[in-house]
Every structure is written in C-alpha cells, then in structure tokens.
Structure 1
Amino acid sequence: MALTPAPSTTSPSSTSSPSTAAPDPAPAPGPQGAASLPGDRIASVRLSSVYLPLATPVSDAKVLTGVQAPMTEIALLFAEITTKDGHDGIGFSYTKRAGGPGQYAHAREIAPALLGEDPSDIGRLWTKLVWAGASVGRSGLATQAIAALDIALWDLKARRAGLPLAKLLGAHRDSVRCYNTSGGFLHVPIEQVLDNATAALERGIGGIKIKVGQPDTAADLRRLTAVREHLGDAVPLMVDANQQWDRPTARRMGRAMERFGLTWIEEPLDAYDAEGHAALTATLDTPIATGEMLAGVGEHMALIDARACDIIQPDAPRIGGITQFLKLAALADHHGLHLAPHFAMEIHLHLAAAYPLEPWVEHFEWLEPLFEDHLEIRDGRMYLSARPGLGITLSDRARAWTRESEEFRR
C-alpha cells in the first residue's frame, strides 16, 4: 500500500511544502522477523512545531557576558503516534534560541519509517530512526528529533498497559524531591528572587536554585548571601553557573560558597571539561552537578569515566529520548551517582521515580500552559498521578501556538 501524508495543517502565519510519499516499510532485518509477527501496528504519526512564548525575556550568565541573547520563546517538537487498534501516545523535544526548524525538518524526514511497525519494539525502532538519518549523526539535533518520537512510543506503551510510565519502568517511589529554577534567573532583581522563593516554598516546592556567574563574582556572593539568609539553613539551595567560569574562578568560587551549605554547584565549567569538573569534584565538599548540555549517552560516559560529578543531570529530549536515558541511568546507578534530570519535568518525574537513588526533579512552570493536566506538588515533592503514560494532554493554547503540523498515515 502506498503511503501518503495526510493534509498538512499550519498556523495562519506559517507555510508548509508538500511532502513526498513515504515508502512502504520493509520487513525488519534480523532473525527475530519482528515485522512479520501479528499484532498492533503504527497507523499515523503527527508532528507539530510549537513555539511557547515567555512572558519576560530570560537571562543567565551567558547573556550577562554577551555570549547569548535573552531567551524569549521555546521551540517544541511534538510527536503524536496512533496505532491501527486505536492506541496513542505523545512525546516532545525542545530547543532554546535556535534549532526548532531543524528538529522539525529532520523529524519530518524520518517519521514515516515508523509506519506499519510494531510500537512495542521501541529499542529496534530507535535504531531504525537513527539509521534513517545516519548522515546527520547520533547526537545533537538528529537525536533530539528522534527523542520526541521515542518518548511518544514509551507513552503509548504505558497508556496501553494502563500504567503511569514510572510504574511501567519499575518505580522506586511515588514522588520525587523537587526544586524551582525559574524564579532565580539573573535578570530578576534580588528582591523579586526572594519573593519568588517564598512563593515556590508556599506552593510546596522543596528547594530553590538561583543563577550565578555574573562578571562581578562579588555580586554573586552578595546575591547568594541574601537568598540563604532569606531561606534559612534548612531549605535546600543550589546554584547554577551555566558554564561561565574558568578553572581558577570555579575553584575560588567553590571554596567561597562552601559556607552556604549548598546542595550542589551546577555547571561551574564548560560542559565538556570532564577533567576540570573531576578536579572540582575531588577538591570541594559541595557536590558538583553537570550534564544537561550533553547530547548523547557517549558524551555522558566521558563524565562518568572521569568521575567528573557527584550528580548527573541528563535531559531525555536532548540525549535521544527515554530509550537512551534508561541506558545512561543504568550506568549512573552502577557508579553510585545521584540524579537530577534537567528541565521537562513532565517527562523527568517518571524517569526520576524509577531511579534507585533518591533523585531531584527541576520545577519550571514555563511548560504548564502547554498541557491540560498539571502535576501535584506538596511537602517538597512532585507526585506521580494515576493517569497512564506521561499523563499529559495538549492544551488548546498549545494547538494555537503551532506554526507547522503534518501527519503521516499508513
């Protein structure tokens, strides 16, 4: 049967060129003969490019030092997969400042490879998608596009089982410690940072993270002093330098911040400086956390092999989805690392709940307008819901923010 994309739907401001017909899927190679077995099959894949506007331009250390412009929106790639038996799943990836059109374009090229496939064969399908775009590589934009599809397949599998994703994976807990980041960016005056911290704690969030890495390191210490005095010693407090410091500055600042009893210092150095992070980890009493900017399991392995952190911070949409996250989590657990996944709490709550050591999940309210269902937060923790899969449904606002959308059908 020939495969053709369903009619494309776009926002009034966007355009979309017609896509070519997708070829009939060939039987999967290998002795298993997976494609010849009876059972449910993927009937359609819908991709949507959604741009979430931020109420206020957001600045961290890289903005204050002129490396980046303030962030004004987040580009998201949504994948919605439906089977011939009527099961469905949703997944998403994202990017900030640049790359949204590229992720969407790559996903459009490879998504038809899923049609006619058994949605349960997630590991095999991840590999098939990688090879569908092999020339682009196995990290960065390519695997971030795959991530949306991979996450949708896991959501579908859990929904079909009638289980929250964490329960399908094998949960160690029904709730996870959570901390807020979105109230502590460097564009926010310190008085507002303190008010934001109070509001977060009153909402039930358990910890507060603020951004550091200003050109004037003394200003960082003044800001941190004010937050610690405001919170008291009992509230978990983290800082994030967003890769701003060189090695000498990171050592000096790490020592100066020991007195604040921080839960961790995040990204003190360039994300790929495993040797420098390892030296800090060995020298400082305060735990070192890093990993959010890395784009694959292999890149994280360099951190693990170098003993470059106490807390690893993978981002499932950035490293290729849940399939790859589970590989990394097994490695991290084997090496006794703690886990604090970056961003995308709607996904990472489930993955953190299935991690053996007590983890943290990062709270950003930014993505909440995209979904009809919101997470329960109380007593310092984020709770799994009873909803199957990821437990999320796209909101009308998310549909309205869609710039391009295309559906491929069997």
Structure 2
Amino acid sequence: MKITGYSITLFEHSLNRRMGDANSPSGRIRGSSNVLELFTDEGLTGVSFGGGGAGPQIKSMVEGMLMGEDPRRVTGLWKRMVDRAFKAGHDGVVNDAIAVLDVALWDLKAKANDEPLWKTLGGSNPKVHAYASGLDSPLSDDEIEDWYGMMAADWGFKGGKLKVGLDQDADIRRIGRMKKGLERATDTPILYIDANEVWNPKMAIRKVREMEEQFDIAWVEEPARRWDFLGLRRISDQIKSPVCAGENLDSLGDFLPYFHNRSADVVQVSHGMTGITCALQLADAAYGFELPITLGGSPGNMNAQLAPCIPNFQTLEVQNSEPDDGVMTSDIKIVDGWAVCGDKPGTGVSFDPEALAKQKVEKVSASAGPSPFGRRPGAGLWDNPPTKEELAAAASGVNGEHYVPAHGSKTQ
C-alpha cells in the first residue's frame, strides 16, 4: 500500500450551545475544523480532523515525506516528520500538522487491518469511562443545572467539569448547580473544575481551598500557567484536590518538567499532542511515574480509541455525546456514562461528503477559531470578572436564544 495523494477541506458550523471559559466568558456560537484525507493506491482513505491553520505544513510534509510511502509504517513516518522539524521544534502549527497526519495514518493502518483502532493499538475492552464537559462559562445558573441534568438523565454521565476562575461566589454557586444536575444519575457525582490558567498559584490555593469547604473536588484543571511547573507543584501540595494539567503542551519534552517535579497529579493528553503516537508515549511516561492519564476532548470523541491500551487511563472528556456539527460521523457511542468504541475499521470518526461540501469555507472566520479571544487581560495578576457587555453576550445564547438541550425543553 502506498500514499498517492491528499485533500484538505476547511469547514465552519454552528455550535449547539454558546461555549466559553475564563478567557472568553461571553463565549462563541460557531466552530470550525479541517478534514484531512490521505488517499492510497488500494482504495483506502485515512481521515482526520484538525490542523485548520496548518495547511502549508501539511502540504509540505505529505509532498516531501509521505507520498509513495506505506501508511502502515506509522511510527517510522511520525519519527521522520518530527526529525524534519527538529531545528525549529515541533510545537505550535507544526505540531498541529504532524498530529492530524499521524491520526490519518493510524486510521489507515487500522482500516488495512480491517479492525477498529482500539484493537490495532492492543486494547481488549472498548468501554471507556467518561465525564461531561460543558465549556459552560456563558451558560446561566439554570442552564448549567439543565445541561448537566440532561447529560446525566439522557446519557448517564455521573461526573462533570465546570469552567471557573473569574467570580468566586458565582463559581461556588454554579458547582452546586452542576452537582444538582448530575444527581439525576447518581447520589455521588464526580465534580471537576477547570480554571484555564487564569489564576496564579496563590490565587488558586486560596480559591480552591474555599471551594473544598463545600465540595469534594475530584480535580482542578490548569489552575496556573502551563509552564509554571513549580507553581503547579506548590498548588498540589497545598490543596486537597488533585491538580490536572498538560492540556496545552505539545511534546514529551514539554512534559518532562511535570514528571521530574511531580507538578501534576493527573496528566491530560490528547491526539493533538503531535498525534496518537506521541500521546501514547506520554501515557507510557506517566505510567512510569504512577500518574493517571485523562484524555481530553476530541472530534467525535475519537480519543476513546486510545484509552483501552493505556494501563493508567482514568477518564475521557466528552463535550458532546454525539457530533453536533452536521458534518462529522462517529462510531463511538455514549452508553450509561461510558464511551463505547464500535467495530468500524479505523478511528470510527469520518464525515458526510454532502454536508462537508455545503459547509466548506475558504477561510475560517476569526470568531470560529478554537480560542478567538486569546488570554484574558489580567489573567494570573488580578481578579477580572465578566464585564456587563460579556454577560449580555453570554445571555443572548445561540442565535438569540438560550441553550436548547438535545433531549429536553428550551430553558427560559
């Protein structure tokens, strides 16, 4: 089998709810992605989502290194791409290019094996523990309870992760509302919080300790800047809750200070960290330090395919129980709060060609990017609660309406 060509297609879509975090409390109502297809001389096509801003890098790597190669030699091709980027490093947009290509190669390898990726990777149980992740800063208190209640009642989730960081009184109140929603599925919900690096260590310690007076927090994610490995260790030492970190790192080298300084109690990895190949390397390294792994959000919950072969896997982030963009399809189903990988060959995540053609764009609009507002002014320096304008934008919901649950009534 040989790689004979490729295709890159950008598309935009409406979100099913307004999404945001401490850096963007007003949220956004549109998202975007990129579909990469790798073609072969045997009629199999590798599919991957991501790398929207890395088109030139993807083109260079496919045409300069992958054309004519056997896609089943995934690890060797991954090493070749990483070595090519050695001098400047493979963080940032180069990382995005290698990551999306690596996923497409693994998709091809599993398809060539005529089996789902979780089997190709050596997993034995396709059932993966998961939690609901709201990206919910723009949602009202009532909408918080309603969304987590829907995820609990309709999909069986017994754990959830709330965005926090800007308003301590509101955060404590909203943790309670998330808990109440999740109690539709269990009397003992798992409560995670995520500050998205908006605090400094002192702020994090003070605020989390106050939260811990009322709630059993299963972890606090990104309570300080990603590279402040000493600050993260300091936080971990002075709160009861585990510290979860790593979401925005790209390579094994980025994680080494975390491992050597025990900066994170739970390590978050994803296929976006230079691909599935690197994600599994990171999971193995964490296993050597007896650190649990959580897999971050992913298109069609594709990261679930990695979990069955990770011995220290803890739980999977699920932002949507089913694809909501109108383009993507997924063979990974949510059943009673678990992600269950199917038997479809490959990653199980693909797309509807007709829908993709309708939503194709030449250039992604600024408001549809993954983090259109960047880092919040004052983050890590002082408290900066949402402005009146941000609160008004958040209250407008999607298309002027509040969040409509997938299987419920519109909140008022």
TM-score normalised over the length of structure 1: 0.80
Task: Return the alpha-carbon distance in structure 2 between the equivalents of residues 75 and 103 of structure 1.
Answer: 13
In the alignment, is the contact (CA less than 8 A) between 1:172 and 1:356 conserved in 2?
A: no
In the alignment, is the contact (CA less than 8 A) between 1:346 and 1:390 conserved in 2?
A: no
In the alignment, is the contact (CA less than 8 A) between 1:92 and 1:147 conserved in 2?
A: no
Cα displacement (A) at 1:187: 0.7
Task: Return the alpha-carbon distance in structure 2 between the equivalents of residues 276 and 250 of structure 1.
Answer: 10
- The number of residues matched between the two structures is 353
Matched, 1:381 2:330: no
Task: Return the alpha-carbon distance in structure 1 between the equivalents of residues 233 and 356 of structure 2.
Answer: 41
In the alignment, is the contact (CA less than 8 A) between 2:85 and 2:94 conserved in 1?
A: yes
Task: Return the alpha-carbon distance in structure 2 between the equivalents of residues 339 and 172 of structure 1.
Answer: 18
1:236 counterpart residue number? 190
Matched, 1:140 2:92: yes
Residues 345-376 of structure 1 deviation map (CA, whole Å, 9 limit, x = unaligned): 53210112221124211112284433233532
Relative distance call for 1:206 and 1:399 in structure 2 (3 A) is farther
Relative distance call for 1:383 and 1:115 in structure 2 (3 A) is same
1:403 counterpart residue number? 361
State the one-letter code of the partner of 2:78.
Answer: W
Task: Return the alpha-carbon distance in structure 1 between the equivalents of residues 271 and 171 of structure 2.
Answer: 30
1:61 counterpart residue number? 22
2:131 counterpart residue number? 179
2:407 counterpart residue number? none
238-247 or 355-364, which deviates more:
355-364
The residue correspondences of 1:51-130 to structure 2 (distance < 5 A) are 51-64=12-25, 70-94=27-51, 100=52, 102-112=53-63, 113-130=65-82
Relative distance call for 1:172 and 1:257 in structure 2 (3 A) is farther
1:270 counterpart residue number? 225
Cα displacement (A) at 1:229: 4.4
Task: Return the alpha-carbon distance in structure 1 between the equivalents of residues 31 and 250 of structure 2.
Answer: 18
Matched, 1:152 2:104: yes
1:310 counterpart residue number? 265
Task: Return the alpha-carbon distance in structure 2 between the equivalents of residues 173 and 261 of structure 1.
Answer: 30
379-388 or 79-88, which deviates more:
79-88
Relative distance call for 1:375 and 1:204 in structure 2 (3 A) is farther
Cα displacement (A) at 1:290: 1.0
Matched, 1:372 2:333: no
The residue correspondences of 1:278-293 to structure 2 (distance < 5 A) are 278-293=233-248
2:162 counterpart residue number? 210
78-87 or 123-132, which deviates more:
123-132
Matched, 1:200 2:151: yes
In the alignment, is the contact (CA less than 8 A) between 2:58 and 2:98 conserved in 1?
A: yes
Task: Return the alpha-carbon distance in structure 1 between the equivalents of residues 318 and 122 of structure 2.
Answer: 23
2:297 counterpart residue number? 343
Task: Return the alpha-carbon distance in structure 1 between the equivalents of residues 142 and 119 of structure 2.
Answer: 41
Residues 231-269 of structure 1 deviation map (CA, whole Å, 9 limit, x = unaligned): 455011111111111111111122122241122111111
Relative distance call for 1:385 and 1:374 in structure 2 (3 A) is closer
Relative distance call for 1:404 and 1:353 in structure 2 (3 A) is farther
Relative distance call for 1:211 and 1:400 in structure 2 (3 A) is same
Task: Return the alpha-carbon distance in structure 1 between the equivalents of residues 182 and 315 of structure 2.
Answer: 19
Decide which of 119, 126, 133 is 1:167's aligned counterpart: 119
In the alignment, is the contact (CA less than 8 A) between 1:78 and 1:148 conserved in 2?
A: no
139-148 or 350-359, which deviates more:
350-359
* RMSD, aligned α-carbons: 2.1
1:21 counterpart residue number? none
Task: Return the alpha-carbon distance in structure 1 between the equivalents of residues 87 and 287 of structure 2.
Answer: 32
Cα displacement (A) at 1:134: 5.1
Decide which of 157, 165, 171 is 1:220's aligned counterpart: 171
Name stretches of at least 5 consecutive residues in structure 1 with no aligned partner: 1-39, 95-99, 406-410
Give the 3-state SS of the residue equivalent to 1:393 in structure 2.
Answer: strand
2:394 counterpart residue number? none
In the alignment, is the contact (CA less than 8 A) between 2:5 and 2:40 conserved in 1?
A: yes
Relative distance call for 1:242 and 1:47 in structure 2 (3 A) is same
State the one-letter code of the partner of 2:264.
Answer: C
Name stretches of at least 5 consecutive residues in structure 2 with no aligned partner: 364-412
Task: Return the alpha-carbon distance in structure 2 between the equivalents of residues 73 and 315 of structure 1.
Answer: 22
1:49 counterpart residue number? 10
1:29 counterpart residue number? none
Give the 3-state SS of the residue equivalent to 2:58 in structure 1.
Answer: helix
In the alignment, is the contact (CA less than 8 A) between 1:77 and 1:148 conserved in 2?
A: no
In the alignment, is the contact (CA less than 8 A) between 1:77 and 1:103 conserved in 2?
A: no
Task: Return the alpha-carbon distance in structure 1 between the equivalents of residues 111 and 34 of structure 2.
Answer: 21
Cα displacement (A) at 1:173: 2.7
Task: Return the alpha-carbon distance in structure 2 between the equivalents of residues 181 and 239 of structure 1.
Answer: 10
State the one-letter code of the partner of 1:389.
Answer: G
165-174 or 319-328, which deviates more:
165-174
% identity of equivalent residues: 28
In the alignment, is the contact (CA less than 8 A) between 1:176 and 1:358 conserved in 2?
A: no
In the alignment, is the contact (CA less than 8 A) between 2:294 and 2:313 conserved in 1?
A: no
